[in-house]
Chain A
Amino acid sequence: DSGVTQTPKHLITATGQRVTLRCSPRSGDLSVYWYQQSLDQGLQFLIQYYNGEERAKGNILERFSAQQFPDLHSELNLSSLELGDSALYFCASSVFSGQGSTDTQYFGPGTRLTVL
């Protein structure tokens, strides 16, 4: 158990809908990262938050957004869902974010999203 929790484990929804994925980082970790794992694209970085603020964006679609709350949990919002959004979404957390940081990212169990 990495200490990172994600809910829900599974989510099945229809095209055009909106869903919210939730992540709670390990105790003491200030940074949260979201990754998408799909069959065709592999594991890709979506977005990073550090202590409540967006720090970096990767290959995140405009239909997707995220935020990190004062208690450091994070939510990833996916809207206008398409079939191609079906994937496993991972959250990871680490202690510190910044150039020169040496910390390791620990991954949650993931949320499997199926769009029908």
Chain B
Amino acid sequence: AQTVTQSQPEMSVQEAETVTLSCTYDTSESDYYLFWYKQPPSRQMILVIRQEAYKQQNATENRFSVNFQKAAKSFSLKISDSQLGDAAMYFCAYRSPMNRDDKIIFGKGTRLHILP
């Protein structure tokens, strides 16, 4: 079974600094997708970034970038120039297009605090 592990329940970072959230996953599939979702206090689930496993290049979306290490099954999220609005719960997630269902498997989340 595929699993997603986020080993940091909480993290804090000073405003304008850079922070990296860790995620590891386990799968026997070679083709899959990885995501980071953000859940602010409003509880909305917002897609931050997506990475296709077949792409060697790390995905980037403005201040958000990932470090995808396929062999190590590691998928970390780097947030640069942290802003107060980045405070949220961040979920690492996995989905395999080879599964019959399209379900997303989520990690337990990392709560990120931004210190002014």
Tell me the A residues contacting B by CB distance below 8 Å: 2, 31, 33, 35, 42-45, 48, 55-56, 58, 88, 90, 92, 94, 97-102, 104-107, 109-110, 112
Contacts and interface: CB of A to CB of B under 8 A. Distances in A.
Interface of B is mostly: loop
Interface of B: 33, 35, 37, 42-47, 50, 52, 91, 95, 97-109
B101 A55 contact: yes
Contact of A58 (B50, B95, B101): B101
A29 B104 CA distance: 17
Contacts of B46: 2, 107
Given A43-B91, A109-B42, A104 B101 contact: no
Contacts of B107: 42
Interface of A is mostly: strand
B106 A105 contact: no
B106 to A, nearest CB: 4
A33 B102 CA distance: 9
Contact of B108 (A42, A45, A99, A106): A42
A110 B108 CA distance: 18
A59 B107 CA distance: 16
A90 B45 contact: yes
Interface centre among B43, B52, B98 (most CB of A within 10 A): B43
13 contacts: A33-B103, A44-B106, A45-B103, A55-B101, A55-B102, A92-B104, A100-B97, A101-B102, A102-B97, A105-B95, A109-B44, A110-B44, A110-B45
Given A33-B104, A43-B104, A45-B105, 16 more contacts: A2-B46, A31-B102, A42-B109, A44-B106, A55-B100, A56-B100, A58-B103, A97-B102, A102-B97, A104-B35, A104-B50, A105-B102, A107-B44, A107-B46, A109-B43, A110-B43
Nearest to B33: A102
Contacts of A58: 101, 103
Contact of A56 (B45, B101, B105, B109): B101
